[in-house]
Amino acid sequence: MRHPTLIVGGGSIGERHLRCFQQTGRADLRLCEPNEIRGRELAERYGVRWTPSFEEALREKPSLVILCTPAPMHVPMARQAVAAGCHVLIEKPLSVSTDGCRELIQEARDADRVIGVAYVWRMHPALRKAREILSSGLLGEPLHVLAICGQDFAALRPGYIQTYYASREQGGGAVQDGLTHVANAVEMLVGRTSSVCCEADHLAIPNVEVEDAAGAVARNGRSIAVYAFNQAQKPNEFVVDVHCTAGSLRIGLSGKRLGVFQNGEWKFEETPYPDHDALFTAQANSFLDAVARRESVSCTLEEGMHAIRFNLACLESAETGRRVTL
């Protein structure tokens, strides 16, 4: 079955969703983009129909809406889409505040609509296998997490710096743009954050004032999670260690290795490092499966709302110097 699918927003992330939903072969696509030049360009490139008006596009009754607009627009537009009878996938972060999130959750439940948040790292095969290992109890109870991650943001995503990234109100800065991915992945492994203490500052990226580096110490149940994240370093790295009562786990996405420590030694296996299109295509297929079967999505609205609280707690802690409870 091919689902009438509306991609809303023609920026870089919107184009990626357009391309990757097209690669599934399971969606009849239409694009909504208010900028006529950009809208016509993408429509021609991917052979899809285009409209500048979200309201007009909803009147054509798409089954799925994929929201790739600025973060403050996500919740109001998602509520419109649910009211129009659509299932919705929302780019991260879900929003820059929790305003309207509970109403959206209830409205989606009442309408029996599938709705989720696009934290794409949840689709990575190494992270999914790590979750299986931890859930099996093989390594015992998680006690401590160390996440060391970063990338050369200005070189890898120069276009973003001139758009949303320069403004926290639009979802920019290291916490809402990057650290949120890492923390969401850690919560997938060891459970939700209950409190956090954070330092964050602007250190290197030119022409912005928002933070581009952050360090945080968080509580996730009984375990302690330590995050070191920056968007100025040259290597693109993602390394997470989870130390448990009966062993340890090391996830090295950049090094393509997943390691388990037991009986005094590390044992590593090579893991694939899918390119971003592969992850986004997997996410698209996962969402289409969830819609078809009315199953839970890889990242629920409740989890997306909790990610907002984590982001806001980090920013509040960095500004006040105090630990913040979520």
39-66: per-residue pLDDT in tens?
999 999 999 999 999 999 999 999 999 9
More confident position, 159 or 137: 137
**pLDDT surpasses 90 at 275:** no
**pLDDT surpasses 90 at 27:** yes
**pLDDT surpasses 90 at 29:** yes
**pLDDT surpasses 90 at 286:** yes
Q: List the domains of the chain with CATH numbers.
A: 3-121+279-299 (3.40.50.720), 124-273+307-325 (3.30.360.10)
| The predicted structure's pLDDT at residue 272 | 77
Residue 38: band (very low, low, confident or very high) from pLDDT cuts 50, 70, 90: very high
**pLDDT surpasses 90 at 161:** no
d(C-alpha 146, C-alpha 153), whole Å: 22
**pLDDT surpasses 90 at 79:** yes
Count of residues for the chain?
326
Q: What is the DSSP string of 104-168?
A: HHHHHHHTT--EEEE-GGGG-HHHHHHHHHHHHTTT-SEEEEEEEEE--HHHH-HHHHTTGGG-G
Q: Token match 């580096």: residue?
A: 213
Q: Which residues contact 322 (CB under 8 A, 6 or more apart)?
A: 197, 316
Q: Token match 């609509």: residue?
A: 113
| The predicted structure's pLDDT at residue 3 | 95
**pLDDT surpasses 90 at 310:** yes
The fraction of the chain above a pLDDT of 70, given in percent, is 100
Q: What is the DSSP string of 230-283?
A: ES--SS-EEEEEEEETTEEEEEETTTTEEEEEETTEEEEEE-----HHHHHHHH
Mean pLDDT for the stretch of residues 126-137: 96
| The predicted structure's pLDDT at residue 26 | 97
| The predicted structure's pLDDT at residue 250 | 97
d(C-alpha 107, C-alpha 37), whole Å: 35
**pLDDT surpasses 90 at 239:** yes
- List, for residues 80-90, the tens digit of each pLDDT value: 999 999 999 99
| The predicted structure's pLDDT at residue 298 | 95
| The predicted structure's pLDDT at residue 276 | 83
| The predicted structure's pLDDT at residue 65 | 98
3-state secondary structure of 226: strand
- Determine phi and psi for 157, rounding to 5 degrees: -135, 60
Do the Cβ atoms of 130 and 101 come closer than 8 Å? Answer: no
> What Rg do the C-alpha atoms of the chain give, in angstroms?
20
Mean pLDDT for the stretch of residues 210-224: 97
| The predicted structure's pLDDT at residue 175 | 98
Beta bridge partners of 227: 147, 216
Do the Cβ atoms of 100 and 314 come closer than 8 Å? Answer: no
pLDDT, averaged across the chain: 95
Is the model's pTM score more than 0.85? yes
Mean pLDDT for the stretch of residues 2-11: 96
Residue 71: band (very low, low, confident or very high) from pLDDT cuts 50, 70, 90: very high
Do the Cβ atoms of 247 and 167 come closer than 8 Å? Answer: no
